[in-house]
Chains A and B, each alone.
Chain A
């Protein structure tokens, strides 16, 4: 059963936030969180209203070797080594596949845009899923193009809104869209935000876009600009 339409949803979320939702009930709820964006959105809203800030007064000094243990068990060192010393068959293969993908994407872009060259800057994906929308920009960052693997069209009462989230900053609206495929003009003030480290995200909003200027609906796709 879809939890999003369950009339007890509020009560279940309340017990989850409180910590009294246990065992199978909690696992079912956590599955619904992953599978039903409406449930995740409701939790996010309620968490903002109901989660108090713990005070620094309760802080305790962590064990001295705590970080070293994490570093060892998660084998974090391998994320620090220079790339040429961790080349292995699998990685070469992965790099090759990525290069082939990028090449085919750029060929696709070349074919579809007759006048300007667009460079892919981000792959937008649902949480834990394969990328489904590719964002590309022109060299002057005036034009942004979204290419969806399959058509994604908003319902009659909804719009999609594309946001750029600068590192450490608040989301800025780039465009309100009826479907996730097409070319748009980037607002002048936001062009310089389209750089490495920022995030692109697409949220579902009421028709015409977010009434508040900030995302109000669930984020369905996101990806970092690289």
Chain B
């Protein structure tokens, strides 16, 4: 797992135009971010373009990184948004290829793709790892259809329309799954954080 404190330091140094820090940031993060792009574009050459564009953006926008925010999350969001944009402009017959390529087991995918471990020992990572455990538990408690819609949308950057086509369901149904899934997730996590706060 990437060391959030180290990445934060490199990102802040990058904002100060420290090229060596930017080079280290690239070395540390490019493999994971390329993987994120690949999950969405599903084509290596497009994923490489997304990675390149994303690091260009990271260099240019590093000074707008919120020092209190999550550094890896910030970069991941840049990569995901860029990958989604690239896929939208290419407008390739993606749904067809998705049918063949997508894994239909969001359960397995959830644990393959994400790291839910709580191995961090750094002080302020404790909260983060607790929140991760809550998120994993709450995803597990969702209705299967809602969980599948959320995981597919997040992992592969599918739009409502892509999801409807892929799952063979009406658009309205898919939108409802997404909306309800997010609401239920929110409610469950609020309950977890509220309970754990009172319990300790």
- Would you call B5 and A168 a contact (CB within 8 A)? yes
A188 contacts partner chain B, Cβ-Cβ < 8 Å: no
Q: Using CB atoms, name the residue of chain A closest to B15.
A: A224
| CB of B199 closer than 8 Å to a CB of A | no
Given the known inter-chain contacts A49-B135, A53-B72, A63-B48, please indicate yes or no for A219 contacting B16, CB distance below 8 A. no
Q: Per a CB cutoff under 8 Å, which of A26, A58, A165 touches B113?
A: A58
Total contacts A to B, CB within 8 angstroms? 156
* Nearest 3 Cβ contacts at the A-B interface: A58-B35, A59-B31, A14-B182
| A54-B35 contact in complex given A73-B56, A171-B68, C-beta closer than 8 Å | yes
- The reply to whether A55 and B112 contact each other, CB–CB distance below 8 Å, is yes
Q: Is the pair B52, A69 in contact by a Cβ cutoff of 8 Å?
A: yes
Query: How far does the Cβ of A93 sit from chain B's closest Cβ, in whole Å?
Result: 19
For B128, what are the chain A residues with a Cβ–Cβ distance below 8 Å?
48
Check B35 against A199 for contact (C-beta < 8 Å).
no
Report Cα–Cα, A158/B157, bound state, in Å: 39
Complex: how many Å from CA A19 to CA B155?
9
A1 contacts the other chain (CB 8 A): no
Residues of B within 8 A of A (CB): 1, 5-6, 8-9, 12, 16-19, 22-23, 26-27, 30-32, 34-36, 38-39, 47-48, 51-52, 55-56, 59, 63-64, 66-70, 72-73, 76-77, 80-81, 84, 88, 112-116, 123-124, 128, 131-132, 134-136, 150, 153-154, 157-160, 178-179, 182-183, 185-186, 189, 193
Contact B67 A52 (CB under 8 A): no
Q: How far is the CA of A27 from the CA of B22 in the complex (A)?
A: 27
- Which chain B positions have C-beta within 8 A of A50? 135, 185, 189
Determine whether the beta carbon of B1 is less than 8 Å from that of A62: no
Given A53-B116, A76-B19, 15 more A-B residue pairs with CB atoms under 8 Å apart are A15-B178, A18-B178, A19-B157, A20-B159, A26-B81, A50-B189, A52-B114, A53-B114, A54-B76, A54-B113, A56-B115, A59-B35, A63-B48, A74-B56, A168-B5
B70 x A48 contact (CB < 8 A): yes
Q: Can you identify 29 A-B contacts, CB atoms within 8 angstroms? A: A18-B150, A18-B178, A20-B160, A20-B178, A23-B88, A47-B73, A49-B131, A50-B135, A51-B70, A52-B135, A53-B115, A54-B114, A58-B35, A62-B31, A62-B48, A66-B26, A67-B26, A67-B27, A70-B52, A73-B56, A79-B17, A128-B63, A167-B9, A168-B6, A170-B123, A170-B124, A171-B68, A201-B67, A219-B66
**Per-position binary interface string of chain A over residues 151-190, scored 1 when its CB falls under 8 Å from any chain B CB and 0 otherwise:** 0000000000000010110110000000000000000000
Complex contact B84–A19 (CB within 8 A): yes
Taking the closest CB of chain A, its distance from the CB of B109, in whole angstroms, is: 10
- Tell me if A5 is interfacial: C-beta within 8 Å of chain B: no
Residue of B nearest to A11 (CB): B179
